[in-house]
Structure 1
């Protein structure tokens, strides 16, 4: 029980860091196969197996919540006080994740459909960015925010996409939240204990974990390369939104380079550990 809760906490912490995959951490901890089996076969398995799955998933879930609540404040503090450095750390994580996604291809040759799916991902992410510029989000700096019908749908959608990504090794759910422009908003909701928007994201996350992950899994099996190129398109487009600008001083430049390199190192270390586990 304690082991499962600790594993869940580490998965939760991983899911809150853009570029780091909770699925990868689950794989490293040796709980990934049981986790996906418990979720994917829950409605078709026997009663005894259902009870066992509920116990296991409940323990993992408690751990995830602990990890999210504990680490959300740290990330929020760093972004509020060291925005440029925190953004460069995330950029390092994301840039390092690009070649790792490519390693999962079946063919090393990029065909025309692959290029089109990459452009589609790029266009979709750009569309989200433009959409956000016209429709502002809630003010998470205080408990006063505007929860419109459109924003309600967006929060559920964001949770769905993030939830679907959480169970796929190598794909970061929090990275998708960054792409959607909701990452720091959701951190603010969690830190300020805003029940309604957190619940909306939670509903979407459950939908994503149960349903959307199955869809992505099938796509990766039947159209693996095109799906990966689409994901890369999303990631590349997200870099523009994350870019914080650059303060041109010697000390600041060196600090940003070190922090950026640290982000790259962490992703490579995670990949190395994953390879050793396999």
Structure 2
């Protein structure tokens, strides 16, 4: 397979696993593993020029133009991860929600610090960090809409959610929750409903091709401001992944995919159930260390 990379496929698998969890973005994984810029530019290259090369100079030229080996390796990893881990992560969300959330909390916190360190130049644009933080907190405060499940809404959900999935700090899964489309999409993956999956993927492709052009422009012309904003978004997304949550009535959440919640301290949660705070603290540290390890491996490569 020309241009295939096992390392990129593994990064894709990590992105796919992250995207399944509400509150975690695959774009965050892409950033901390050092492939974010390459991902954006490769996706941007999937344009009319690539199509022209396909018909004028053949598949090989078009493949090289779009960095096909990289994209194929990444998408293969994402697909394998989503199809194989959908059930496992759904099980973990249902049976060990505190522990899973704690791990990703540490991962996102370390990612925010990592992105902040990547801001070029002297003096950090704190205003954009605050802007990103407020934006993420507003998103986390939204509650789900009542959206009928049909092919049009599935297509639209894909187009919107993919923009969040590719952007570090905003969870595509959480956007699907807000749209009321998380359960239908996960169930379609579990049951291998190829029709719904195809429509969702078509929506993802449409949204992605439009959004990556904006991201590429911002990365090249306003990189400092963009990275500062992404730092704030990552910090704000910690409110979504915070492990200890109760329902609006102050009870334990009966549905792991519910967004009818508010964050509480571990001692408040202890009034309803075991907060498992020692194990959660350990897994937060493991998540934090995982980012440091990924960044170190990526920098060596």
Instruction: Tell me by how many angstroms 1:262 deviates.
Output: 0.9
Asked if structure 2 preserves the Cα contact closer than 8 Å seen for 1:156 and 1:204, the reply is yes
Asked if structure 1 preserves the Cα contact closer than 8 Å seen for 2:129 and 2:229, the reply is yes
Please give the per-residue CA displacement for 1:80-111, whole angstroms capped at 9, x wherever unaligned: 11111111111111111011001111134234
Q: Does 1:100 align with 2:114?
A: yes
Aligned position for 1:218: 217
Aligned position for 2:12: 12
Aligned position for 1:71: 85
Instruction: Tell me by how many angstroms 1:219 deviates.
Output: 0.6
Taking structure 2 as the reference length, the TM-score comes to 0.68
CA 1:261–1:192 in structure 2 vs 1: closer, same or farther (change >3 Å)? farther
Instruction: Tell me by how many angstroms 1:159 deviates.
Output: 1.8
Q: Identify unmatched segments of 5+ residues in structure 1.
A: 138-144, 166-170
Aligned position for 1:255: 279
Asked if structure 1 preserves the Cα contact closer than 8 Å seen for 2:97 and 2:243, the reply is yes
Q: Does 1:202 align with 2:201?
A: yes
Asked if structure 2 preserves the Cα contact closer than 8 Å seen for 1:161 and 1:208, the reply is no
Please give the per-residue CA displacement for 1:46-85, whole angstroms capped at 9, x wherever unaligned: 3331155596345653443123211222222211111111
Aligned position for 1:142: none
Task: Measure, in 2, the Cα distance between the counterparts of 1:276 and 1:5.
Answer: 16
Task: Measure, in 2, the Cα distance between the counterparts of 1:96 and 1:264.
Answer: 5
Task: Measure, in 1, the Cα distance between the counterparts of 2:79 and 2:154.
Answer: 24
Superposition map of 1:167-186 within 5 A: 171=168, 175-178=170-173, 180=175, 182=177, 185=183, 186=185
Task: Measure, in 2, the Cα distance between the counterparts of 1:219 and 1:238.
Answer: 21
Q: Over aligned residues, Cα RMSD in angstroms?
A: 3.6
CA 1:63–1:149 in structure 2 vs 1: closer, same or farther (change >3 Å)? closer
Instruction: Tell me by how many angstroms 1:39 deviates.
Output: 3.9
Aligned position for 1:157: 160
Aligned position for 1:50: 62
The aligned length equals 254
Task: Measure, in 2, the Cα distance between the counterparts of 1:242 and 1:108.
Answer: 31
Aligned position for 2:237: 238
Q: Does 1:41 align with 2:45?
A: yes
Task: Measure, in 2, the Cα distance between the counterparts of 1:220 and 1:62.
Answer: 26
CA 1:184–1:9 in structure 2 vs 1: closer, same or farther (change >3 Å)? farther
Task: Measure, in 2, the Cα distance between the counterparts of 1:65 and 1:198.
Answer: 12
Structure 1 moving runs of 4+ over 6 Å: 148-151
222-231 or 188-197: bigger deviation: 188-197
Please give the per-residue CA displacement for 1:195-229, whole angstroms capped at 9, x wherever unaligned: 45544542343235433223212212211121112
78-87 or 231-240: bigger deviation: 231-240
Aligned position for 2:259: none
CA 1:51–1:146 in structure 2 vs 1: closer, same or farther (change >3 Å)? closer
Instruction: Tell me by how many angstroms 1:255 deviates.
Output: 1.1
Asked if structure 1 preserves the Cα contact closer than 8 Å seen for 2:162 and 2:208, the reply is no
| Higher helix content, 1 or 2 | 1
CA 1:178–1:255 in structure 2 vs 1: closer, same or farther (change >3 Å)? same
Q: Does 1:22 align with 2:27?
A: no
Aligned position for 1:80: 94
Task: Measure, in 2, the Cα distance between the counterparts of 1:147 and 1:68.
Answer: 22
Please give the per-residue CA displacement for 1:98-130, whole angstroms capped at 9, x wherever unaligned: 11001111134234xx41x33432333333334
Q: Identify unmatched segments of 5+ residues in structure 2.
A: 19-23, 245-265
Taking structure 1 as the reference length, the TM-score comes to 0.73
Superposition map of 1:183-194 within 5 A: 185=183, 186-194=185-193
263-272 or 8-17: bigger deviation: 8-17
